[in-house]
Amino acid sequence: MENIKEDIKNDEFATFPFDGSAEGDRNRVEAGTLYLVATPIGNLADMTYRAVKVLSEVSFVAAEDTRNSGRLLSRFGISKPMVSYHEHNKAARGPEIVERLAAGESCALVTDAGTPGISDPGEDLVRLCGAAGIPVVPLPGACAGIAALTVSGLPTAHFCFEGFLPVSGRERRERLAAVAGEERTVILHEAPHRLRTTLSDLRDAAGGERRIALCRELTKLNEEVLRLTLDGAVEYYESSEPRGEYVLVLEGGKRPEAAEFWRGLDVPAHVRHYTDAGMPERDAVKAAARDRGVPKNVVYNEYVKSKNEEK
């Protein structure tokens, strides 16, 4: 790992983009430029050759956590001046970085893991650079949300990124309602100590039949992907302790006209719609009650009454 820069020089495939060719010119670190450098989310082998080159050649590195990023750089034999850039100092540090770039220095922006600018203040620095006419160059690489989406088994043609939900209060309720009504596949992040609450809240908002992929510790030793319904996910974590960092990929909701198919059905017919599709009677009653927004016992009593009248 420590010889990766030497490996680049000796690797015929790796060196051609970095030589004097036109392709190599595109990979030259330019003065007065901000580079958004994606870093591994767990597996160091996911570091790209181009990321190593840029990190080795820029004037300085701006990092969300200089200690974490410093350790990462040292694994690749890189030693660079570093400044911190995070949510709590961005108002002051952002203009300082822009001033250095305007003076001709080059900077690589990195986050703790993954692609900068997603769920971190990188977007603010990019906006400042844009306003100052400073070029911004993205270096693609690891991204937990996209990795989770591709392995989720859920539709990928249309999706959106939600990130972390608000922790509590009205804002959380509003975001949960928006996520539940979203027709596209939704990507969320969650910490282990809040996972159970979030799964329960998502089930209440979106319904227990909605599919979800729970992607834990992606690219790391204990990587795990569970593909369940929200009912199944809540039940699973009643007996299993959440551990590690999670990316949740939630199935999109149905269009309103499709979701309200039952409007023309009475309660017994509504329940039979689900049982005819193979759903157990108990689950069918729960699903019909959820569709209608009424207590389960109301649906159950009407359904049983109808069955008795048919005898």
Q: What order of strands is seen across the sheet that includes strand 246-250? A: 159-164, 185-190, 246-250, 211-216, 224-229
Q: Distance between CA 16 and CA 14 in Å, rounded? A: 6
Residue where a domain terminates, one of 256, 286, 301: 256
Q: Which range of residues forms the domain containing residue 151? A: 145-256
pLDDT digits (tens, 9 = 90+) for 238-271: 999 999 999 999 999 986 655 677 778 899 889 9
Looking up residue 252, the CATH number of its domain turns out to be: 3.30.950.10
Q: What is the mean pLDDT of residues 142-165?
A: 96
For the chain, the domain total comes to 3
Residue where a domain terminates, one of 230, 256, 282: 256
Asked whether residue 92 falls in the same domain as residue 25, the answer is: yes
Place of tokens 């051609």: 16
Asked whether residue 136 falls in the same domain as residue 152, the answer is: no
Cα torsion for 67, 72, 75, 76, to the nearest 10°?
Answer: -130
pLDDT digits (tens, 9 = 90+) for 197-228: 999 999 999 999 999 999 999 999 999 999 99
Asked whether residue 166 falls in the same domain as residue 226, the answer is: yes
Asked whether residue 64 falls in the same domain as residue 156, the answer is: no
Radius of gyration from C-alpha coordinates of the chain: 25
Residue 61 φ then ψ, to 5°: -120, 130
H-helix segments, 27-181: 49-57, 66-75, 90-102, 122-132, 144-152, 169-181
